[in-house]
Structure 1
């Protein structure tokens, strides 16, 4: 459930990670931090406050300072994770890694998990979460599946039918089945520590969502989907889920602060 959108004071603050690369706007062609606006709209329509988290030099102290100002974290889409982070060499189709963004997002994810902060991973974000917890990736799905349906190319999203695993948080959010907007040529292979599969492609079985095991971690709201929910803002269920969890996190943190003071 989304937070109380009528009262800005009650709205949780969610940080969204961003790109940092060369970009053009008007007469300018500069290195810039940016994120498509539909991500922000997903958060704000669900009742949250969105703030951007551009890649920057990072250590545990810097990540902690950033997370101190947040109630939830969204790891967004982008280029492939550096294969060396999960012990592999690069496939010919794997993107040149953004090492600064990888380091930034790994630090934020680990810091968020350490404090039980709600986390939503989107596409690359699902892969970052899995790798941060010791998992691996399939670097090029066409080699495994023999088709390119999960990433048609030319910025054209394909629609995949996904089936959720009963009893998972993902199933409670989107139901038994859902249509997903996909644009990924990589996918989760070996699961990271504590993660369970919560949705798969209905046709080829590719892992399309993971989450922290709600049995082992009943108080942790950590869900990551391989698809792009921001491409379908007529369906805010995943954004509403993380915004609602962030609101609960903010409330718990406020009560703990009151007890200390």
Structure 2
């Protein structure tokens, strides 16, 4: 059992290490300022963001001004989108008539490219954190809402008949039957929403009026031709996306079970 569990993990890390090694060799062979090797990028990122003292979790003042504001906007937008999407999705999915009426609007809203909505929120909220969070919430809510509605609609009719015979109350039906039945689809929507939140967080910070965050750091480094910082920010975004997705997968396996989670991942 230990070998079956450890072997895939070792293989995944081996593939990553091989890819990084190939990148290192290719970058050093080309010796281009536009294509720095990963070790140089890692040293620059460490000096820029993670060389602080232990009392501040090794975060430098630059990291506090760059990483924490972006994470705050992203987490706020994701939590609001998740709560609104699950509540509205379950409500829509449990009523066939409401679902039939709302489905065209939902499909239209989810098809709108998220960056196209940012100018609308600039007009409504002006530049700043409220506009950034609102754009994240509005764009990330649709995958959760649609998948929650589909999950609620897919509840086994036989089980609904059983809970009707048992005369469970509406909150009991929701908690013990509908939510557990819809959880696999809900987490599928949450994973899509998490990716959108990361994209919209960076995009909103690229706009004029932003003065902190990873997106602002990217723009500022580009204007100063600081290519090492540009690459470090890109690697940081990839690492954050991987860590957040891994954490969400761990929660999903805890609540849903490894078998269902593995099937959806496949």
TM-score by length of 1: 0.24
Q: Which has the larger strand fraction?
A: 1
TM-score by length of 2: 0.24
Rg larger in 1 or in 2?
2
